Amino acid sequence: MTDDTRVLYNGDCPVCSYEIGHYAAYSGREGLPIRFEDLNTAELHDWGLTPDLAARRLYLLKDGQIYSGIPAFIVLWRDMPRYRWLARVVAVSGVHWAASFTYDYVLAPLIYRWHRRRQRRMAGQTL
């Protein structure tokens, strides 16, 4: 196994690209062993995910284990010195529950609907 962390995100999503771009730039400057993979160009069979499933939330692979949603963010933040404090805060039981609920039932579905709407709009433009 490797200590590398692999993050799978939707590069076509402006919200996802902005946030992950920030983490990728920081990780690059610090020389952190984190790879950021756009689901639109990544080998998804490595992840065991379909493109649609991968677009629904953030996924992270570390030490052979796949994490998604808030647990994925916590692992990512723990791997980045600047964000370790955030990982500790969000890992606290009540905060973790609230963050997971908000991500799972509000933010991720909303961002996914925006993604699907952009896909339909782009498909309509190519007709």
**60-116 pLDDT, tens digit each:** 999 999 999 999 999 999 999 999 999 999 999 999 999 999 999 999 999 999 999
CA pseudo-torsion sign 37, 101, 82, 92? negative
pTM given for the model: 0.91
